[in-house]
């Protein structure tokens, strides 16, 4: 499929996956993912904004603001409990909601802080282009920024809904990006100072052997560490710690097919090569001027589109644990395809490689 055709298919997949409420449903044909995650949707909205569909991005941000304002009592309770050093006991803003903004009533982990940081980064990008056009924005930003500013050292599930007893570096990066965005949106020096505190904490505690670690105390790597630089800017893309981290990510997590895996030991659908992560890596390469590597990443993603032009969550040809594929297929069905976040990441990378 040509680049132009995949571009159009991606836009159509995202538009068709956006509910009337404005929420982006992560994977409409995959039953387990029929929710809207703040994290996925932040990148999807940004992709749609870059692609010229500001109305789609606006509709999502309006939905997100509505959810946050509705959930304000949960945020305030979490802030109060954290200050009192007592357990949250279920009082927190969820990582995902149904398309109508309701809480998902299930046992799947739902306490994640990265999504809200990602949303602040994304809505700042939108506001920079369409200043003052989102009703309720300042109130919602204030709630989320105070929430993240209080809870940022609290263990929570990572972006893969795993290891809820840890403090994850990619989560801290999203929080940093969110606090910096909140500081800009609200003109708050206090939030800017908190962002600086998060950055100093990561540099002091979040590295090992001159590169970033997956979570505090760990020597593991995770492809989500790309977000520390691109796009959240806790570190600049050229920072020596970032360059060393990316070098090791590429060396250890690139699969035989050429795509990037999440982490070593990943057993989810066997632990394959992820399209969205490979596109994020290409985005990073574009930011450090390694355009040929960025183009190769984009070509790999394009080559994994199916006959309909759909981009899946991951590719299963060269998984780490082939015997685990059937386990997940029996539980949830075939791997999610199309995944809106994969299409969004492709759109972002494509935009990054357009001529200036």
Domains along the chain with CATH numbers:
3-352 (1.50.10.10)
pLDDT at 106: 81
pLDDT at 1: 64
Residue for token pair 């571009």: 7
Q: Cβ-count burial of 132 within 10 angstroms (0-12 exposed, 13-18 middle, 19+ buried)? A: exposed
Distance CA 273, CA 319 (A): 7
pLDDT at 2: 62
Distance CA 179, CA 38 (A): 16
Q: Which residues contact 139 (CB under 8 A, 6 or more apart)?
A: 69
Residues of the chain with pLDDT under 50: none
Distance CA 252, CA 271 (A): 13
pLDDT at 65: 98
Closest by CA position to 228, among listed 190, 60, 311, 244: 244
Strand order in the sheet with 260-261: 260-261, 273-274, 314-315
pLDDT at 267: 98
The residues annotated as belonging to the active site are: 158, 161, 313
> Could you read off the pLDDT of 211-237 as tens digits, one per residue?
999 999 999 999 999 999 999 999 999
Element of type H or E holding 284: helix 275-287
pLDDT at 138: 97
Mapped onto helix, strand or coil, the DSSP state of residue 208 is strand
Alpha carbon separation from 18 to 56, 117, 237 (Å, rounded): 8, 21, 32
276 near 223, Cβ under 8 Å? no
Q: Write out the two tokens for 284.
A: 């990073």
pLDDT at 105: 78
Give the N- to C-terminal CA distance of the chain in Å, as an integer: 25
């Amino acid at each position: 499929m040509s680049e132009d055709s995949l571009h159009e298919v991606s836009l159509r997949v995202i538009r068709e996956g956006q509910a009337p409420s404005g929420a982006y449903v992560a994977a409409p044909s995959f039953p387990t993912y029929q929710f809207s995650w703040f994290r996925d949707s932040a990148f999807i909205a940004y992709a749609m904004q870059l692609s010229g569909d500001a109305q789609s991005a606006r509709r999502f941000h309006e939905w997100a603001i509505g959810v946050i304002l509705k959930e304000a009592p949960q945020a305030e309770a979490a802030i109060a409990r954290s200050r009192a050093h007592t357990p949250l006991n279920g009082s927190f803003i969820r990582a995902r909601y149904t398309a109508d903004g309701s809480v998902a009533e299930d046992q799947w982990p739902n306490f994640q802080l990265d999504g809200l940081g990602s949303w602040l980064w994304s809505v700042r990008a939108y506001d920079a282009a369409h200043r003052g056009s989102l009703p309720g924005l300042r109130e919602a930003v204030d709630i989320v920024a105070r929430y993240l500013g209080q809870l940022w050292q609290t263990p929570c599930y990572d972006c893969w809904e795993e290891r809820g007893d840890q403090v994850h570096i990619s989560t801290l990066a999203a929080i940093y990006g969110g606090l910096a965005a909140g500081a800009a949106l609200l003109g708050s020096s206090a939030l800017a100072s908190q962002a600086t505190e998060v950055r100093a904490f990561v540099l002091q505690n979040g590295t090992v052997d001159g590169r970033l670690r997956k979570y505090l105390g760990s020597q593991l790597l995770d492809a989500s560490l790309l977000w520390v630089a691109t796009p959240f800017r806790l570190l600049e893309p050229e920072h020596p710690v970032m360059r060393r981290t990316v070098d090791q990510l590429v060396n250890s997590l690139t699969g035989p097919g050429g795509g990037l895996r999440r982490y070593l030991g990943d057993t989810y659908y066997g632990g394959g090569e992820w399209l969205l992560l490979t596109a994020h890596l290409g985005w990073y390469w574009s930011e450090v001027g390694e355009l040929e590597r960025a183009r190769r990443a984009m070509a790999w993603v394009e080559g994994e589109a199916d006959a309909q032009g759909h981009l899946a969550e991951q590719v299963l040809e060269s998984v780490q644990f082939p015997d685990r594929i059937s386990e997940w297929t029996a539980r949830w069905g075939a791997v999610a395809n199309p995944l809106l976040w994969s299409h969004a990441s492709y759109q972002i990378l494509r935009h990054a490689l357009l001529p200036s």
